[in-house]
Amino acid sequence: MQRSMWLRRSALVAVLAMTAAACGGGDGTTDPTESEPMGTETASEPTATESAEPVEVTGRGDGTLTLARVLPESGFLDYLGGPMIGGVALAIQDINDAGGVLGNDVELLEFDSGTDPTVATPNFRSALAEGADAIIGAAASGVTKAVLPTLYANDIPNCSPSATSGDFDTLESAQLFFRTVPPDQYVAPIIANEIIEDGNSGSIAIVQLQDPYGDFIAGEVTTALQDQGVEVALTEKYPPENPDFETIANNVEAANPTAILVVGFREASGLIKQLVETKGFDPNIMYGADGVFSSQLAELSGVSLDGMKLIGAAGSNDFNERLAEFGVSDFLYGGQSYDCTILLALWAVASGTDDTSQWDPQVLLDLTQGGEVCTTFADCVALIEADEDVDYDGAAGGLALRGVDGGTLGQPTQASYAVAQFQDGELVSISSVPVDVS
């Protein structure tokens, strides 16, 4: 199918999207994976000729759906990659256990995205050269933006479970891109509510990485707390390079907060160690945003974090338990990764071909709303084969994908966030919070 047909289809999606407000995140929304230390690109769409060159794509229409996952195994986000990689693997198992797609098992290619386009871009191109029909990834918004021109030039749809930047709403090359995670601002009220519901009605201290992600999350949580009459007594920012955590811990101690929120990434483990080991703060009054949402946080900090809570986008509590039984110890973006994979497979079934250049974008959106609800790949396929309209409600919520005029093919209007807590040295999913972001 030629590009003109893709554009006509995209125009149809755009017209439909104009009938409702776009899911938020367009005004300055940043992504936890766009932080400066990870070397990701935070500017608008890349224009390098090399990144948009066509690739010789093999295997289209051969009857076997081949998916590639390009997710972080190295770099600054490697400690967050486990649940995403596990979510894809679990979905592939479920799909193939149910008979696969078009009578054949789905094949999975595995690549590392790192957290830098110089690592990811060659791997994306290799995935296409090795026969990937569609791609799950990247995790970081900056990396995703860098590879979108190549995918768009080759009519390759892709889904990210964790790219939360609002910039995708305005990128022409995002017309074949969809995501199963909403923009960042929707997690802030959940963090604030968790702090308040735990009885922390006094003063709150927020310690944040001084970068767009830290500034955005800290600002949104501050507003959410203040809207409910809770004072933020201290906001401490630390630089990406050579932070003085000892001084920051002294300032937090002087503020005598009833709760502490940490907004950062791997480097925040040094701060947490200072707060717990040196200053004696009880982890039961400590909270972390999604950038530290990992069972490895306690090991990196070198102290017991029993009682500390972490909040971020993930699957439902039931799905998180299933992911744990599958051997995955973390939850962040696991449900979103699972849903990316299932939706690509259902799109192929509904299209009757593994040749993604023949897939109609409107079919993807229709698979997530307006039909009979199904929650498993097998049940959804049965409905499709019975010529019934399908509404896939996934591991990460109802989804109800909606396109954005002039940008992303689809993003969720219904989502799920997880609250996890360290208990006896383990990170345990204790609740899931469904959110309607429409």
355-403 pLDDT, tens digit each = 999 999 999 999 999 999 999 999 999 999 999 999 999 999 999 999 9
pLDDT for 116 equals 84
d(CA 354, CA 229): 54
Burial class (CB in 10 A: 0-12, 13-18, 19+), 94: middle
CA angle 203, 209, 210 (to 5 degrees): 105
* Two structure tokens written together for 144: 């995703």
pLDDT above 50 (res 141): yes
* Range in 57-71, 82-96, 299-313, 330-344 with the lowest mean pLDDT: 57-71
Inform me whether the pLDDT recorded for 38 exceeds 90: no
In angstroms, how far apart are the furthest CA atoms of the chain? Answer: 66
| Percent residues over pLDDT 70 in the chain | 88
Q: What is the pLDDT of residue 58?
A: 80
pLDDT > 70? residue 5: no
Asked whether residue 10 carries a pLDDT value surpassing 50, the answer given is no
Say how far apart CA 18 and CA 193 lie, in whole Å: 32
pLDDT tens column, 163-197:
988 788 888 899 999 999 988 888 999 999 999 99
Answer whether 3-183+319-416 and 186-316+418-436 agree in fold: yes
Given a cut of 50, whether residue 295 has pLDDT beyond it is yes
Give, in words, the CATH class of 186-316+418-436: alpha beta
DSSP state for residue 202 in the 8-state scheme? S
The fold of 3-183+319-416 is Rossmann fold (3.40.50)
Torsion of CA 237, 242, 246, 251, to 10 degrees: -20
- Sign of the dihedral through C-alpha 301, 268, 219, 414: negative
Q: Closest by alpha carbon to 400, among 410, 389, 408?
A: 410
pLDDT level of residue 112 (50, 70, 90 thresholds): very high
Helices (H), 58-187: 81-97, 117-129, 141-153
> Which residues lie closer than 8 Å to 142 by C-beta, 6 or more apart?
31, 33, 34, 38, 40, 41, 42, 117, 165
Burial label, 2 (beta-carbon count in 10 A; 0-12, 13-18, 19+)? exposed
pLDDT at 340: 98
What type of residue is 173? S
pLDDT band at 12 (very low <50, low <70, confident <90, very high): very low
Q: What is the pTM of this model?
A: 0.86
Give the pair of three-digit tokens for residue 112: 């590392």
Q: Is the pLDDT of residue 51 over 80?
A: no
How far apart CA 93 and CA 105 sit, in angstroms, is: 9
User: Considering the chain, what is the average pLDDT of its residues?
Assistant: 87
Alpha-carbon distances, residue 231 vs 189, 222, 376 (angstroms):
15, 8, 44
Residue 258 pLDDT > 90: yes
Q: What is the pLDDT of residue 23?
A: 30
What pLDDT, on a 0 to 100 scale, did the predictor assign at position 75? Answer: 85
Rounded Cα distance between 230 and 100, Å, is 52
* SS3 label, residue 430: strand
How far does the chain reach from its first CA to its final CA, in angstroms? 33
Q: How confident is the model at residue 52 (pLDDT cuts 50, 70, 90)?
A: low
In this model, does residue 41 exceed pLDDT 90?
no
Domain boundaries of the chain, sorted by first residue: 3-183+319-416, 186-316+418-436
pLDDT more than 90, % of the chain: 73
CA 422, CA 430: separation in Å to the nearest integer? 10
- Given this model, what pLDDT does residue 405 score? 82
Lowest-confidence region among 35-44, 109-118, 345-354: 35-44
Q: How long, in residues, is the chain? A: 438
pLDDT average, residue stretch 251-276: 96
